[in-house]
Amino acid sequence: MTRLCEQDICSISEMLKNYDNYLLSKTSGRLRDIAIRASGRDNIDTDTINSAKKTAVVPLTSGEGIIRGFSETVCSILRYLGADAFVTQKTDVAGLSQAVDEGAEVIFMADDLTFSAINIKSGRTADNGEFTGKGYCAALDFMSGGVSGKNALIIGAGPVGCGAAQFLVAKGACVHIYDIDMEKSEQLKRSTPEIVIEKNLPDAFGKGVELVVEATPSKSVIEASYLRGTEYIAAPGIPLGLSAGAVNKMDGRIIHDALEIGVASMLFAVI
């Protein structure tokens, strides 16, 4: 799992409005619309959505420690979406206590392996991997005029790929999975029998793929030669999993960010 670095996130807060406009122009949906669709709670009432939930982001020092700007960036995304969000001054267990003492209903925190949102009133939780996968597929749903009946290829059967598979299968797409580790693909198929396992990436692209989810932590997984240029690509992986040639060929049909869609989707999944 990729650990974000300061450089990946340092301009997110100041660029949020621009990114939202970019999403609107590319997908016809705003960050908020995409995240609500991803949460699977499209019927969530407007009062719930618009009530500014007190939301704390707790910095965690465990493992590799604090990523400078991480908590503040998560907080600014949450505020942008209307949450009454703050970063606790204290870290770790003391920070969690502070969050509860100050009345937070929703808590966001991340260590090296897991990034969770927890609603301490309802008990709802959201994992960043799962909701990043769902969020990017909701973006594809907007972008492609609906994923139902379309051929989708997911590359990578980790938490993001599994979240993507759940969303796409539920929306009626024909889902194919490729992972360099066949056992991971087989594990996903056991929980989601509708998916088709692909053994070879260039061959998988040769089967009329319309939607692609690149959910690996590797660079240049997708080469320009695999693409026809008519696909829509969701690329949540850090670093970007397309070669420079593939990016040129697909310019304007790729969705890629470091945090925004995942964090937004987590919020609407737990409020």
Residue 15 in contact with ligand 2YH, rule: CB under 6 A? no
The answer to whether residue 66 forms part of the interface with ligand 2YH (CB under 6 A) is yes
- Regarding 167 and contact with ligand 2YH (CB under 6 A), the answer is no
Whether residue 250 contacts residue 229, with contact meaning beta carbons closer than 8 Å, is answered with: yes
- β-bridge pairing 115-119 and 125-127: antiparallel
Q: Which stretch binds ligand 2YH (CB under 6 A): 110-118, 140-148, 199-207, 247-255?
A: 110-118
Question: Binding residue for ligand 2YH (CB under 6 A) from 35, 60, 107, 157?
Answer: 60
Q: Is 59 in the site for ligand 2YH (CB under 6 A)?
A: yes
DSSP-derived 3-state class of residue 223: coil
Please tell me the distance from the alpha carbon of residue 39 to that of residue 184, in angstroms, as a whole number: 24
Residues with Cβ within 8 Å of 166's Cβ and at least 6 positions away in sequence, in order, are: 130, 133, 134, 192
The 117-156 site mask, x for binding ligand 2YH (CB under 6 A), equals -----------xx---------------------------
Place of tokens 């009133």: 121
Three-class SS of residue 116? strand
Could you tell me the two tokens for 240?
A: 């970007």
Amino acid code (one letter) for 133: G
Kindly state whether residue 92 participates in binding ligand 2YH, applying the rule CB under 6 A.
no
Nearest-approach distance from CB 173 to ligand 2YH, in angstroms: 23
Among 84, 92, 111, 223, binds ligand 2YH (CB under 6 A): 111
Residue 244 touches ligand 2YH, criterion: CB under 6 A: no
Cβ 227 vs Cβ 243: under 8 Å: no
242 SS3 class = strand
Q: Does 110 bind ligand 2YH (CB under 6 A)?
A: yes
Residues that bind ligand 2YH (CB under 6 A): 1-4, 59-60, 66-67, 70-71, 110-112, 115, 128-129
